[in-house]
Amino acid sequence: MKSVFFSVLALCLALGAAAKERKAVYIVTDGIPADYIERVHPRTIFDIASQGGYCRAYTGGEIGAYFQTPTISAVGYTNILTGTWVNKHNVPGNDNLKPRYQYRSLFRTAKEQRRPVTTALASSWVDNRTVLIGEGKPETGNLKIDYVFDGYENDKTRFPDREDHTHIFAIDSLVALNAAECIRDKAPDLTWVYLWFTDSGFHLHGDGAYMDRYVHKTDSLVAMVWDAVKYREKNFDEEWMIVVTTDHGRDERGFGHGGQSARERSTWIAVNRPEVNSQFSEPALSLVDINPTICRFLGFEDPREVEFEKDGVPFIGRADISGLKSGKYDDNIVLTWDTYGNPDCDAEVFVAFSNKYLEGGHDEWVKVASVPAKAGKFVFDKKRYPASKFYKFVVRTPANHLNRWYAE
């Protein structure tokens, strides 16, 4: 009888734990390279990491490949927002931007769910909302963010320009305060917090004691949000993911960025979730992994044609495969991939012979094979299919998928 009682009790406790409402917030601290954050070792960011993990990540896509991506700010934000590189999202810089909104942002994915999802944006740059997310645009389904705190950079009365750019840090401080108060009081399901000053400060001062101080100051703003998350978890039946990251690294002196040097490509991710998987490791981890990770945590689903275009791999839960490559051998296209552990599952291989999705259309995906995932290889015989100069491949297991373009 006691065993039955304790079994029922355990079941009730498990159901109670599973019923916790999940929420996510991610914070972008602009332009802090991995070696810098590791040396300065700001307390809050590494406190968050102590709950889950910290790892170096890369940005910039693959050097020399069709998806090589500039290491520029708005580009980095969009890598994170969409889980894709510049060849898809079409944000190559900070100005005159024309995003391809069919590569959905986290915010659009949130609003396309069957259940109601509340969203918040606290940002020191208004274009994150009006251009990159595309709030209110027909191309994004006229999506509306529920709680918005931005536009302060245009308020020259409250935040007049200063030669040392510290007015931007004052804006960051208000943005962080707004975000923390919103999380405490409203608990949006998805929140993005963007803090600008570190990038601006590095542009002026480069590496050195001045920026050491401001990385710590920015960390104190992250602490406001972290404290709000801990408050919600302590006082409400909620389970939170907090991700802190940066959008790009810097050149060797710390002043610039935009190129493909190792330091400019070097970013990092700190997360509070303990269930990180093997993707959360070098050299696999990249900024495009944040989108599918948050989607997995929050239970978001995208249509297959949207999902197939994502370049990232979730770094929580299970992941089977990573690092899809393509090459030529006679009339064949050879696909290879890495595996995590020894996955006892099949990998389905799909191909599309067009790229209509890039221009807002639809591609026809054809399943061409199912092979053991642990084989790490599939040879595609072009002679068996209609002649084409272009191929899009997806390799999918029950846990995750990878994609790769191949052009003659």
Mean of the pLDDT values across residues 361-367? 98
Say if pTM beats, i.e. exceeds, 0.85.
Answer: yes
Give the span between the Cα atoms of 243 and 183, in whole angstroms.
15
- Per-residue pLDDT for 352 more than 80? yes
Nearest Cα residue to 289 out of 43, 26, 71: 26
pLDDT of residue 106: 98
Query: Given pLDDT bands bounded at 50, 70 and 90, which one contains residue 131?
Result: very high
Mean of the pLDDT values across residues 289-301? 98
- Per-residue pLDDT for 270 more than 60? yes
Q: Which class would CATH give 19-307? A: alpha beta
Nearest Cα residue to 327 out of 279, 384, 397, 391: 391
Residues 6+ positions from 11 with CB-CB distance below 8 Å? none
Query: Given pLDDT bands bounded at 50, 70 and 90, which one contains residue 19?
Result: confident
Q: What are phi and psi of 113, to 5 degrees?
A: -70, 155
- Per-residue pLDDT for 345 more than 90? yes
Tens of pLDDT, residues 26-47: 999 999 999 999 999 999 999 9
Helix (H, G, I), strand (E, B) or coil at 359: helix
> What are the tokens at 362?
């639809």
Q: What are phi and psi of 295, to 5 degrees?
A: -60, -45
CATH 1.20.1740.10 fits 321-407, yes or no: no
Q: From its phi and psi, is residue 238 left (phi > 0), alpha (psi between -120 and 50) or beta? A: beta
- Per-residue pLDDT for 9 more than 80? no
pLDDT of residue 15: 45
Average pLDDT of the chain, as a whole number:
95
- The percent of the chain in helix, strand and coil, each rounded to the nearest 5, is 35, 25, 40
Per DSSP, 312 falls in state: -
pLDDT of residue 18: 59
What angle, 0 to 180 degrees and rounded to 10, lies between the N-to-C axes of helices 209-235 and 166-185? 10
Residues of the chain with CATH 3.40.720.10: 19-307
Mean of the pLDDT values across residues 347-365? 98
Per DSSP, 286 falls in state: B
Q: Are 396 and 370 in contact (CB under 8 A)?
A: no
Which of 3-17, 301-315, 385-399 shows the lowest mean pLDDT across its residues? 3-17
Tens of pLDDT, residues 215-256: 999 999 999 999 999 999 999 999 999 999 999 999 999 999
Mean of the pLDDT values across residues 331-358? 97
- Per-residue pLDDT for 378 more than 50? yes
Tens of pLDDT, residues 151-187: 999 999 999 999 999 999 999 999 999 999 999 999 9
Give the span between the Cα atoms of 389 and 407, in whole angstroms.
6
Residues of the chain with CATH 2.60.40.10: 321-407
pLDDT of residue 6: 46
Give the span between the Cα atoms of 337 and 345, in whole angstroms.
14
